[in-house]
Chains A and B, each alone.
Chain A
Amino acid sequence: MKNLFLFVWKYYFFILFVLLQSICFYLIIRNKNFHQAGFINSTNKVATSVNNIVSAVTEYISLKESNEALSRENAALKTLMPDVFYIDSVQQRLVNDTQLLQQYTFTPAKVINNSFNRRNNYLTLNKGTRHGIDTGMAVVNSSGVVGIVKNVSPHYSSVMSLLHKDTRLSARIKKNNYIGSIVWNDGVDPDRVTLNDIARHVPVAKGDTIVTSSYSAIFPEGIMVGTVESIDQNSGMNFFKITVKLSTNFRNLTTVFVVNNLMKTEQLQVQEGQVIE
């Protein structure tokens, strides 16, 4: 026993060293084993408060990088948004029926550009030749006529709005079928167009409904144009000058339908023959 004490006394330094190292390696091995967290870790109060201060400072230093990272992430996320995608599907319905031969197809399209405050206004749609759209097709929306396709590219089409000095539209008074033509004479007010060529004897009243006529090879018959707002007696002339309040609101066009008249070529060919003869 005395020898043991002497031994300890003599080599106390080395024994202390071995003891402390044993403790250290016990801690290290315990720490490596993730089933049981080590005693010595940075989750205690002092360490966390110091680490919080440090991270508050370093966060501030790295604000620029984190901003850049965030905006990169935003850009990446934005490209995943549904708005980014061009919807390439064509939603047309062709119906086969032996008695009813389909004359019109309707292709939905989104208005991606629109003007209504110029003299000659155009719209741009996000559908093009890929979706079967061609020049000269009618464009309508749920409340009325919109315009006529003027130019097409594979994915886009440009539409001559009804609010254009060259747009002519054959229309009729719904209650008595008298035919006139719609033009945008006004050139300022995107809510009103003029119905010409209605003879003075025709009974017409305020509030009468104006729809597209069957004379057009472009527009299907009976599409709403608007309602009669005022009738100018136009003294000295044979025709009324009727102001029509449009049913289409050109200020907030979003979704429109492009109308394809499947029999247009045939109709035009026949009519061409008439002219030649």
Chain B
Amino acid sequence: MIIKLLYQLWRFAIIVLLQVALLNHIQWSGYINPYVYVLFILLLPVELPSWAVMLIGFALGIIVDMFSDSGGMHAAATVFLCFVRPFVLKIMAPRDGFEPETNLGIYKMGFNWFLTYTSILVAVHHLFYFYTEVFRFTEFFITLFKALLNTIVTVIIIILGQYLFSNDKRVK
């Protein structure tokens, strides 16, 4: 239990650092700013109660906000993501439910499942975030374009990261 907690804390730190130290500083064409830190929420264990996930999401968002001076926008978007996540998991659950201690990684769940799951939740998070950031509807389409473009970039990074760094390879 302690080991698992430490492991999650370690991953939390790594993902936050990756986000604030590297991905926040991508200055390519002004459109690309992927928010990969949501991966932490995506990969949290299924058994973890939704309210705990939501509190963790809130903390994660607040920390990212702290580094990117965005007030509470990341927190809001991540909380929204955590709100949607149980429903998505419910819809996408296998016929006989998740096995206990299921790892939601790409190796365990398969490419298609993971791609769908990640795309939906990242799109939810990014749409929420970018619309909160703009906070008006006059730039509706450009914001939509930005959100979807960054969703694609984030999903690509997450999937590449899964293939490169996931430690479930040995299990397979």
Contacts and interface: CB of A to CB of B under 8 A. Distances in A.
Contacts, number: 81
B95 to A, nearest CB: 25
Contact of B79 (A24, A30, A41): A24
B54 A17 contact: yes
A203 to B, nearest CB: 88
Interface centre among A26, A47, A58 (most CB of B within 10 A): A47
B73 interface: yes
Contacts of B67: 42, 47, 50-51
A46 B16 CA distance: 13
Contact of B72 (A27, A42, A47): A27
B51 A27 contact: no
Contacts of A17: 54, 79-80, 82-83
Contacts of A40: 62, 65-66, 71-72, 75
Interface size of A as a range:
20 to 34
Interface string A22-41: 01111111111000001011
A50 B51 contact: no
Interface SS of chain B = helix
A195 to B, nearest CB: 76
A13 interface: yes
Contacts of B71: 27-32, 38, 40
B58 to A, nearest CB: 5
Contacts of B51: 12-13, 16
A176 interface: no
A63 interface: no
A13 B132 CA distance: 22
A42 B66 contact: yes
A276 interface: no
B25 interface: yes
Contacts of B83: 13-14, 17
B120 interface: no
Interface in A41-70: 41-42, 44, 46-47, 50-51, 53-54, 58
B25 A54 contact: yes
A40 B60 CA distance: 12
A40 B58 CA distance: 13
B75 A27 contact: yes
Interface centre among A17, A20, A31 (most CB of B within 10 A): A20
B133 to A, nearest CB: 9
B69 A25 contact: no
A16 B55 CA distance: 9
B76 interface: yes
A234 interface: no
20 contacts: A13-B50, A13-B54, A16-B51, A16-B54, A17-B54, A17-B79, A20-B75, A21-B80, A24-B61, A27-B65, A27-B71, A28-B71, A38-B71, A38-B72, A40-B71, A41-B66, A46-B66, A47-B66, A53-B21, A54-B21
The 10 closest A-B pairs by CB, nearest first: A31-B71, A27-B72, A24-B76, A24-B72, A28-B71, A17-B83, A20-B79, A24-B75, A28-B72, A54-B21
Interface of A: 12-14, 16-17, 20-21, 23-32, 38, 40-42, 44, 46-47, 50-51, 53-54, 58
Given A20-B58, A21-B79, A27-B72, 10 more contacts: A13-B86, A17-B80, A20-B79, A21-B80, A23-B75, A24-B61, A24-B73, A27-B71, A38-B72, A40-B71
